[in-house]
């Protein structure tokens, strides 16, 4: 089974998951509201309520060089979207902030090809935004068609919000040549204590089955307790008379079981598998002795028929179907797997098995002091924003970027939906519950993608996020079905209490060396791991397991040049630390 992903895929998944969550919660009318929020006295246009005239402010650069801040500029959005030429959000931005935006979207799913075609045909017009992708970043820099932006972060009198971006974020975005070639987006406003994100990786138990076998959550707080529960659950039948499958998971999701045994399973920017620092040494997941112990436990459960026999071949739809109909007593992994999160949205009470699925603490394993992590929280930029060196609308662009980077908790929501008081507002007081204005809400929360796209292009990637308040956990639910709030609650529980993630470290950020050994062998490594972890899981005896594990060790060396990959990574790590320092 796969236990690592290429960095591009990882970023893409994160982006798709977050976007899909925003869409599933929400869709838009022409309502624009009356309240304005202005971020900069010198560069942000002064919008007034009630449709009064807007006073134009001075730009960050001379008008002869950068045009007016009210000029229309084009954002080339690095993902596919079907929004109309003018969304409600664009109308609000123009009328309330005098920010005039035109959006052009990448068509299809191959952003890199789109970038190469655009750059080879003259480049983009004004501004471009893409989720962090090292290959796209290099293509942009090497094209010679973008301009460095570091000077705009050093103009507190004219661009105060850009100047207030945390130093750690600006340092991270600085290239080895001393330039910032992109404006950082989707970063933590508090990088030392970032919001944990949509972390929904956990052990999940059917609480109704737990009660039925006479056990509690405390009873499954150890791996031995989990084994006891699985054995008891195996004696039960579901509502259709079929035997309950004690434990199930999607391909790759057993990484949380491996992490339970103390192995770090987070993949870094380079695409290398989980890395744990032990003093001055680094232990890669596949070299960790506990990696073997974890798969030995999985194999033991498999041989006792306590794990679904399809775990090594599961397709998403098949897995989701089993979870939905209540086939499992326990599952391991992310609520995003196979879009399991959607199982909750239509529920208004305990009418379906999914209602009873709850995340529980990662069980303790003897002689394992701390369990590993399956993801890391990356406080650093998740998106890259590029300014064309040929733009004629620099003042308008900088005005917009300055507004987007105001360091306040609700800014991401304003960037996505419009200033507070326009399409949305607080229910009672700031940083409590909020809701959309009625006319806007009818489309935005419709669940109809076309109606959602009419409301907003959802450009939250231009902003940062805060640990002090997060909009999609605090929307007033009103008459919404109760199941709609379950995932919010579980995200907070997993992110704040159960915690199967960790903060990103220097060694996670080591970049991929273009054309190097790692790049050449990542795919083969992934295929080899997938093949031999499946063999370890399905081994029919202890001897078969030992053979599968020993073959695994031999084949990652023979096929994927594992030792050479690690050697190159260490060299790149030392280069990175010399440039960025240890953090």
Q: Is the pLDDT of residue 35 over 80?
A: no
Grade residue 28 by pLDDT with cuts at 50, 70 and 90. Answer: low
Tokens of 114: 């789109």
Q: Is the pLDDT of residue 9 over 50?
A: no
Grade residue 479 by pLDDT with cuts at 50, 70 and 90. Answer: low
| Residue 544 or 200, more confident | 544
Instruction: Map tokens 């908790």 to a residue.
Output: 409
b/e map 291-329, b = 16+ CB within 10 Å: bbbbbbbbbebbbeebbbeebbebeeeebbebbeebbbb
Q: With contact defined as beta carbons under 8 Å apart, do 356 and 239 qualify?
A: no
Identify any residues that bridge with 284 across adjacent strands, giving them in sequence order: 275
pLDDT of the residue at 481: 67
CA distance to 237, 252, 400, 416, 521, per residue, from 454 (Å): 47, 36, 21, 13, 44
CA distance to 189, 420, 532, per residue, from 409 (Å): 8, 12, 46
Q: With contact defined as beta carbons under 8 Å apart, do 243 and 317 qualify?
A: no
* Domain extent listing, the chain: 27-43+66-194+380-476, 201-376+505-580
pLDDT of the residue at 378: 87
Cα–Cα distance for residue pair 324/75, rounded to 1 Å: 41
**How many CB atoms sit inside 10 A of residue 516's CB?**
16
Q: Is the pLDDT of residue 345 over 80?
A: no
Q: Is 394 exposed, middle or buried (0-12, 13-18, 19+ CB in 10 A)?
A: buried
Q: With contact defined as beta carbons under 8 Å apart, do 301 and 230 qualify?
A: yes
Q: Is 485 exposed, middle or buried (0-12, 13-18, 19+ CB in 10 A)?
A: middle
Cα–Cα distance for residue pair 92/419, rounded to 1 Å: 8
The mean pLDDT value for 508-527 works out to: 93
Architecture of the domain delimited by 201-376+505-580 = 3-Layer(aba) Sandwich (3.40)
Mean pLDDT over all residues of the chain?
88
Task: Report pLDDT digits (tens) over 524-579.
Answer: 999 999 999 999 999 999 999 999 999 999 999 999 999 999 999 999 999 989 87
The mean pLDDT value for 41-66 works out to: 61
- Residue 110 CB contacts under 8 Å (≥ 6 apart), including other chains: none
Cα–Cα distance for residue pair 132/111, rounded to 1 Å: 11
Query: Which residue in 269, 170, 137, 285 sits closest to 572, CA to CA?
Result: 269
Task: Report pLDDT digits (tens) over 364-391.
Answer: 999 999 999 999 888 999 999 999 999 9
Tokens of 532: 């031999």
Q: Which fold has domain 27-43+66-194+380-476?
A: D-Maltodextrin-Binding Protein; domain 2 (3.40.190)
Q: Is the pLDDT of residue 17 over 60?
A: no
pLDDT of the residue at 99: 98
Cα–Cα distance for residue pair 163/183, rounded to 1 Å: 12
| Residue 287 or 446, more confident | 287
pLDDT of the residue at 480: 63
Cα–Cα distance for residue pair 280/340, rounded to 1 Å: 40
Alpha helices in 164-286 (DSSP H): 167-172, 207-212, 223-233, 255-260
The mean pLDDT value for 182-190 works out to: 97
| Residue 5 or 359, more confident | 359
Cα–Cα distance for residue pair 436/229, rounded to 1 Å: 44
The mean pLDDT value for 33-45 works out to: 38
CA atoms within 13 A on the CB side of 556: 26
Q: Check for a shared fold between 27-43+66-194+380-476 and 201-376+505-580.
A: yes
CA distance to 54, 340, 352, 387, 467, per residue, from 394 (Å): 20, 44, 54, 8, 31
DSSP sequence for 373-397: -SEEE--S-SEEEEEBTT-S-HHHH
| Residue 476 or 464, more confident | 464
Task: Report pLDDT digits (tens) over 433-447.
Answer: 999 999 999 999 887
């Amino acid at each position: 089974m796969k236990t690592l992903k290429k960095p591009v895929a990882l970023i893409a998944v994160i982006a798709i998951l977050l976007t899909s969550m925003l869409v599933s919660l929400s869709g838009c009318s022409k309502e624009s509201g009356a309240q304005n929020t202005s971020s900069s006295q010198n560069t942000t246009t002064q919008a007034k309520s009630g449709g009064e005239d807007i006073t134009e402010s001075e730009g960050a650069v001379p008008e002869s060089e950068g045009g007016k801040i009210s000029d229309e500029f084009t954002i080339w959005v690095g993902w596919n979207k079907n929004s109309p030429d003018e969304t409600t959000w664009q109308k609000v931005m123009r009328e309330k902030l005098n920010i005039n935006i035109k959006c052009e979207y990448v068509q299809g799913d191959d952003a890199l090809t789109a970038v190469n075609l655009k750059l080879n045909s003259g480049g983009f017009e004004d501004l471009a935004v893409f989720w962090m992708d090292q290959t796209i970043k290099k293509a942009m820099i090497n094209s010679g068609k973008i301009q460095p932006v570091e000077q705009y972060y050093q103009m507190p009198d004219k661009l105060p919000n850009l100047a207030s971006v945390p130093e750690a974020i600006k340092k991270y975005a600085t290239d080895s040549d001393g330039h910032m070639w992109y404006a950082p987006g989707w970063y933590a406003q508090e990088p030392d204590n970032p919001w944990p994100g949509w972390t929904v990786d956990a052990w999940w138990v059917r609480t109704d089955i737990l009660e039925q076998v006479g056990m509690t959550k405390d009873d499954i707080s150890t791996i031995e307790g989990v084994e006891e529960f699985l054995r008891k659950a195996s004696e039960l039948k579901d509502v259709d008379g079929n035997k309950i499958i004690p434990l199930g998971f999607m391909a790759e999701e057993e990484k949380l079981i491996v992490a339970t045994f103390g192995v770090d399973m987070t993949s870094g920017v380079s695409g290398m598998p989980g890395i744990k620092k032990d003093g001055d040494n680094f232990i890669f997941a596949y070299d960790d002795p506990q990696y073997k112990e974890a798969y030995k436990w999985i194999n033991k459960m498999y041989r006792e028929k306590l794990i679904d026999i399809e775990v090594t071949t599961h397709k998403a739809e098949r897995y989701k179907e089993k979870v939905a109909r209540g086939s499992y007593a326990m599952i391991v992994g992310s609520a995003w797997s196979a879009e399991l999160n959607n199982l909750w949205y239509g529920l208004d009470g305990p009418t379906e098995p999914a209602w009873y699925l709850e995340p529980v603490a990662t069980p303790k394993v003897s002689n394992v002091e701390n369990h590993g992590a399956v993801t890391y929280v990356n406080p650093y930029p998740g998106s890259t924003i590029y300014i064309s060196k040929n733009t004629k609308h620099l003042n308008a662009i900088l005005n917009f970027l300055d507004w987007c980077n105001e360091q306040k908790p609700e800014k991401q929501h304003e960037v996505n939906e419009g200033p507070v008081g326009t399409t949305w507002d607080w229910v009672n007081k700031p940083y409590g519950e909020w809701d959309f204005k009625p006319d806007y809400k009818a489309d935005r929360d419709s669940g109809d993608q076309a109606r959602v796209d009419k409301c907003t292009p959802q450009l939250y990637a231009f902003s940062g996020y805060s640990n002090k308040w997060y909009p999609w956990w605090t929307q007033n639910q009103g008459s919404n079905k109760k199941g709609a709030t379950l995932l919010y609650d579980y995200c907070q529980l997993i992110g704040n209490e159960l915690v199967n993630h960790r903060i990103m470290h220097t060694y996670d950020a080591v970049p991929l060396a273009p054309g190097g050994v790692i790049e050449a062998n990542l795919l083969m490594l992934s295929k080899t791991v997938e093949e031999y972890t499946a063999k370890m899981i399905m081994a029919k005896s202890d001897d078969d397991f030992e053979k599968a594990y020993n073959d695994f060790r031999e084949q990652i060396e023979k096929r994927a040049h594992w030792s050479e990959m690690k050697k190159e990574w260490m060299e790149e790590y030392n280069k990175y630390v010399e440039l960025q320092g240890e953090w």
